[in-house]
Structure formats: structure tokens, C-alpha cells
Amino acid sequence: MKARVLSGVQPSGNLHIGNYLGALKNWVRIQHDYESIFCIVDLHAITVYQKPEELRAKILEIAALFIASGIDPKHSALVVQSMVHGHAELSWLLTCVTPVGWLERMTQYKAKTQAIETIGDGLLQYPVLMAADILLYQAAIVPVGEDQSQHLELTRDIAQRFNSLYGATFVMPATNLPAVGARIMGLDEPEKKMSKSAAGAGHAVALLDPPEVIRKKIMRATTDSQPGVDFETMGAGVENLLAIFQAFSGWSDDQMKPHFTGMRYGDLKKQVAEMVVSQLEPLQARYREITADPAYLAGVLREGAERVTPIADSTVRLVKERMGLYTP
Ligand code: TRP
């Protein structure tokens, strides 16, 4: 039996080339080696206020972008979290075995609540819901970025606590897949990982940015004061541009070095921009095809939910039984 892999993405912000090169492209490559579930975590998104119409559009956008990127919905389940009741239900059951202190200690909770006045309880519960996503399907592997490793550790802690209170129930999920994706940094601040929520207009190239916008953003990317590319001494900005080119082109180091050594930054940026534009063009064309047929997308999401619901239901039932709830 193939190992089950699960990951989740929030339907907020714009998916960008960092998401694509760092995660999505890799998932596409390995999806057939696993039983894969990709979850669009709308219940997580609403832990901070979302405009309803925008949220609904975003859920469909993310689903279409996943398919356009090469996720095969016939093999991998594309699941809108709120369409499968088990996520919310298991989340409550796990909440009851989770000490509040564990949640108050989470660094993302502390960071998020610094910026807002009224802190919704959902923000505190966020990591429990994520644990529920993972444990609901007894996922063996959860490919996420480093920023999520504290949440994953908490997932294991919750699973362990449940197991010790009620008997062996949950499989311990492994941290990660081996990191093979590229780590793409912000174009305007190459010391920081490219982020969906960063404010700078030139920070990220979104997967749906039109060619002119892509070119403009890349031409404005931060470099350094050296005259041209030097692989020994280059700063983070130049390194990032080269990483973007290499990840999209698939060139080897032996191809990269002679081609770019000594190149002026203006020329480097033009070549990076053209590479990105040419690689995103087919993806964007597929995206337009997919979104032109709303019935197709609705069918994929319905089918995704139908496929995983039996797994979710059997986990919830088992957990209820273990906890002594009435399960005739
Ligand atoms: N918290 C994750 C993020 O912001 C999203 C997420 C929710 C997730 N549930 C998940 C990731 C389950 C992996 C598995 O990136």
C-alpha cells in the first residue's frame, strides 16, 4: 500500500512562484508514488476575517491552480476542508485533550495576535484544526515548510496524548518529505522566504501575474553593488534570481556557471524574467481552460470530498468510540 501524504494550503493571498517551486512542483512530481490528499483549508482561512465573496472565489482559484500546475485530480484528492465534516468534528474532539498552554505557546499564534485587537478563539484553535486535518486521514507524511514544523510537532504531541489517554489510535505523522524543492526568497527582501502575506508589491511573482507584471517585478528585484554575477561572492538577491532561473529551467550547475558568470544584472534579470514568463504561460493557459468550465471544477471538488469522506468518517467514529461517546 502506498503511504498517505497530506498537505494543506490556505485560500488566502496569491499563490506565487515560491509556492510553486518550493512545494507544488515537487508534489506534482511525486504524487503518483503516494496516496495524496491536498486540502484547501478554508476553515483555517476564516480564523481571520475574510470577505465572503473573495474567499469563495479564492477556494476555486486555488483548486484550479493546483490542477493547472499538474496535480492530477483523478489520482490525488483535491479536498475543500469544509466540505468534509470530519475536520471540524475531529478538531473539537482533539481540542478536549489539548492543554491551552500548548496553544498559547505557538509562535504563529503569538505573532498573529500581536497585530489584532480582538483575538478570535479560532486563532488559538488553529493548530488543533491542523492536527485534525492530518490525523483524520492518518497521514504518514506531511510535506510542509519549516514555518509549519512547530504545528507538526504539536500534532504529534496531541496524537500521543490521545493515545496515552484512550489507547493506540493515531499514527504518528512524519515531519516531512526530504526537502527537494527550491527555497525561493522575496524579490524585494532576499533574506526572507517569499511569502503570500508579505505587503511589498514587488515581493512575489504570483502564478497568475500577467507577463508585463512579471517582467516589471523581476527587473526591480534587489541585487547588490557588484558589477556582475560572481558565483563565489554573490549576495542573496542575485543568488535568488539564479535559483529561480535554475528551478524553472532545470539547468545543472555546470550549465548555470559558464552561462551566467560575469553577466550584468540587467541582462540576468531579463533572462530570468523571460524564463519565468515562458514557464508560467502554459500554466496560465491551463488555468483559463479550467476556470472556463465551472462544472468541471465543481465536479472535481465534489469527487475529492466523496473520495476521502469514508476515511474521515471511520476515524471520527473510532475516536468517538475510544472516548466513550454513543456510537450505535
Ligand atoms: N497551517 C498550514 C499553512 O499555513 C496550512 C495547513 C492547514 C496544513 N492544515 C494543514 C498544512 C495540514 C499541512 C497539513 O501553511
**What is the topology classification, in CATH, of domain 4-177+294-323?**
Rossmann fold (3.40.50)
Closest CA to ligand 1's atom 3: 9
Closest CA to ligand 1's atom 11: 8
Q: Is 192 one of the annotated active-site residues of the chain?
A: no
Catalytic annotation, pick one of 25, 74, 110, 112 = 112
CA of 273 to the centre of ligand 1 (A): 30
The domain limits of the chain are: 4-177+294-323, 211-289
- Please identify which residue in the block is written with the cell numbers 497530506: 6
What integer pLDDT is reported at residue 178 of this predicted model?
A: 52
What integer pLDDT is reported at residue 198 of this predicted model?
A: 83
pLDDT at 260 over 90: yes
CA of 268 to the centre of ligand 1 (A): 35
Range in 3-17, 108-122, 130-144 the model is least confident about: 108-122
**Domain with residues 211-289, CATH architecture:** Orthogonal Bundle (1.10)
Rounded mean pLDDT, 7-24 = 93
What integer pLDDT is reported at residue 177 of this predicted model?
A: 53
List the Cα angle 31/37/38 in 5-degree steps: 95
Average pLDDT over the chain, rounded to an integer: 94
Which atom of ligand 1 is least distant from the CA of 129?
9
CA of 8 to the centre of ligand 1 (A): 4
Which atom of ligand 1 is least distant from the CA of 145?
15
Contact residues of ligand 1, CB 6 A cut-off: 6-8, 10, 41, 44, 130, 133-134, 142, 144, 148, 151
Which atom of ligand 1 is least distant from the CA of 143?
13
Catalytic annotation, pick one of 2, 110, 192, 193 = 193
What integer pLDDT is reported at residue 212 of this predicted model?
A: 98
The pLDDT tens digits for 219-253 are 999 999 998 999 999 999 999 999 999 999 999 99
Q: Is 193 one of the annotated active-site residues of the chain?
A: yes
pLDDT at 40 over 60: yes
CA of 5 to the centre of ligand 1 (A): 13
Higher pLDDT, residue 148 or 214 = 214
d(CA 304, CA 10): 17
Best residue for ligand 1 mutational test, from 39, 43, 109, 194 (most atoms within 8 Å of Cβ): 39
Confidence band of 118 (pLDDT split at 50, 70, 90): confident
CA of 47 to the centre of ligand 1 (A): 13
Rounded mean pLDDT, 314-326 = 98
pLDDT at 146 over 90: no
Rounded mean pLDDT, 206-213 = 97
Closest CA to ligand 1's atom 14: 7
